[in-house]
Amino acid sequence: MQNQQLMTSLSNGVQMPLLGLGVYDMYKQEAEQAVLWALETGYRLIDTASMYRNEAEIGNAVRQSGINRNDLFITTKVNNTDQGYEKTLKAFDVSLQKLNLDYVDLYLVHWPIKFTRKFTWKALERLYHEGRIKAIGVANYLIPFLEELQIEATEIPMVNQVEFSPYLYLEDLLNYCKERKIQLQAYSPLVRGQRMSDPKLLSMAEKYKKTPAQIILRWALQLGVSTIPKSSNLDRLKENFDVFDFEISEQDMAYINSFNENLRIVEDPMELY
Ligand SMILES: NC(=O)c1ccc[n+]([C@@H]2O[C@H](COP(=O)([O-])OP(=O)(O)OC[C@H]3O[C@@H](n4cnc5c(N)ncnc54)[C@H](OP(=O)(O)O)[C@@H]3O)[C@@H](O)[C@H]2O)c1
C-alpha cells in the first residue's frame, strides 16, 4: 500500500481514491483554503454536500488548483429537504451550478428519509443513466435500508457512506457491503477527535511511531474502507495523508477492531426519520 493514490474500483468500474477530505463544518473561505491545501498535499477526493453550504468554494478551489478534472473525485449529496423525485432532480442541477462543474463523480442520498428515499433513489438512477454522475450511492444506509432499496432499484448503490471508526466498528455492515460490491466509506472516522487520548490507541501510535489519527485512518484503509477525515488545519491535513508508509499487523488490526464501543457522533439512522 505504498501508492499515495490508493484507488478502489467501484462496482461500475469507476476508480475512486480510498482516502479523501471531508469538508463538513468548514465555512466558505475556510473550505476553499482547506481544499487548496489538500489538493497540494495530494488528496484527490473531496467530500461535500448541499447541506454544508460550501459547494461553490469547493468548485473554486478545484479550478484554482489547475489539476485536471479527470484526476479529481468530487462527491456531493442531496439535502434531506430536497428529497423526492422531482426535487432531487432540481437539487442536483443547483449543486452542479454551485460547484460550477460539468459533472460530479459521486452523488449520495444524504440520509434515508422515510417517505421520500425511494423516489430520491429513482432520481439518482436517472441522473446516472443520463451520464451526469459517474457513480451513485447512499449515506447512513444500515442493512435494513439497503435491503429495502434493492427491492425496486435498477442500480445497486456503488458507495455507502456511514459513520465508522474503531469505536463504531460495523462489521456486519462491512461484510454485507463487501459481498454486494458496495464500497463502504467512513465518515467521522476520527470520532471528531473524541478518542485521541484513548490509552489503547496511544499504545498503537507509539508502537508504529505514528499519530493516533494515522493509526485510525490506516486501519480503515487496510479494511478496504474509504475514509474522509475533515481538517482545515494544514499540519493535520498533511498528517492525515501521511499513512502510506507503514502497515498494521493482522494481530493489531484485530486488536483495534476490539476498541468498538458502538460510539456514535451523529444520530443513529435507525432512530432518526
Ligand atoms: N454523510 C453524512 O451524514 C456525514 C456525517 C458527518 C460527516 N460526514 C463527512 O465526513 C467528514 C469527516 O467527518 P467529521 O467532519 O464529522 O469528523 P472527523 O473527520 O472524524 O473529525 C474532524 C475533527 O477532528 C479534527 N482533526 C482532524 N485531523 C486531526 C488529527 N490528525 N488529529 C487530531 N484532530 C484532528 C478536526 O479539527 P481541525 O479541522 O482543526 O483539524 C475536526 O475537529 C465530514 O467532513 C463530512 O464530509 C458525512
CA distance 75 to 58: 10
User: Which grid coordinates belong to 193?
Assistant: 477527535
Answer yes or no: is pLDDT of 101 > 60. Answer: yes
Provide the 10 A C-beta neighbour count for residue 36: 16
The pLDDT, as a whole number, for residue 44 is 98
**CA-proximal residue: ligand 1, atom 14 (nearest):** 188
pLDDT score recorded for residue 4: 56
Residue 212 in grid coordinates: 493516533
Q: Is the CB of 17 under 6 A from ligand 1?
A: no
Question: Does residue 233's CB lie within 6 angstroms of at least one atom of ligand 1?
Answer: yes
Q: Please tell me if the CB atom of residue 165 comes closer than 6 angstroms to any atom of ligand 1.
A: no
Average pLDDT over residues 148-173: 98
pLDDT tens digits along 3-33: 456 999 999 999 999 999 999 999 999 999 9
The answer to whether 261 and 167 are in contact (CB under 8 A) is yes
The predicted pLDDT at position 1 comes to 43
The gap between the terminal CA atoms of the chain, to the nearest Å, is 39
Pick from 189, 186, 76, 175: nearest CA to 140: 186
Q: How confident is the model at residue 176 (pLDDT cuts 50, 70, 90)?
A: very high
Q: State the closest ligand 1 atom to the C-alpha of 187, by its place in the atom list counted from 1.
A: 10
pLDDT tens digits for 44-80?
Answer: 999 999 999 999 999 999 999 999 999 999 999 999 9
The 10s digit of each residue's pLDDT in 135-157 is 999 999 999 999 999 999 999 99
Residues ≥6 apart with Cβ < 8 Å to 251: none
Give 2 or 176, the one with higher predicted confidence: 176
Q: Are strands 7-9 and 15-17 parallel, antiparallel or unpaired?
A: antiparallel
Q: What is the mean pLDDT of residues 28-43?
A: 97
Rounded Cα gap, residues 8 and 211, in angstroms = 25
pLDDT > 70: percent of the chain: 98
Q: What is the DSSP letter of 166?
A: T
Q: Tell me, what's the pLDDT at 272?
A: 76
Backbone angles phi, psi at 61, to 5 degrees: -65, -40
CA 234 to centroid of ligand 1, rounded, Å: 14
Phi-psi region of 66 (alpha: psi -120 to 50; beta: other; left: phi over 0): left
- Per residue in 182-225, pLDDT tens? 999 999 999 999 999 999 999 999 999 999 999 999 999 999 99
Distance, CA of 138 to CA of 8 (rounded, Å): 17
Spacing, Cα 155 to ligand 1 middle (Å): 30
Largest CA distance in the chain: 53
User: Would the annotation count 129 as a binding residue?
Assistant: no
Cα→Cα distances 202→91, 151, 214, 217, Å: 43, 44, 11, 14
Task: Delimit the domains of the chain by residue range.
Answer: 16-193+223-231
Does residue 165 come out as left (phi exceeding 0), alpha (psi in the -120 to 50 range) or beta?
A: beta
Task: Say how many Å lie between the CA of residue 236 and the centre of ligand 1.
Answer: 11
The CA distances from residue 239 to 50, 211, 231, 235, in Å, are: 27, 8, 10, 6
Tell me if residue 20 falls in helix, strand or coil. Answer: coil
Query: Which residues are catalytically annotated?
Result: 52
Q: Atom 32 (ligand 1): residue with closest C-alpha?
A: 213
Report which of 137, 55, 131 is spatially closest to residue 97, judged by C-alpha positions: 55
In angstroms, the CA 153 to CA 140 distance is 17
Can you identify the CATH homologous superfamily of domain 16-193+223-231?
A: NADP-dependent oxidoreductase domain (3.20.20.100)
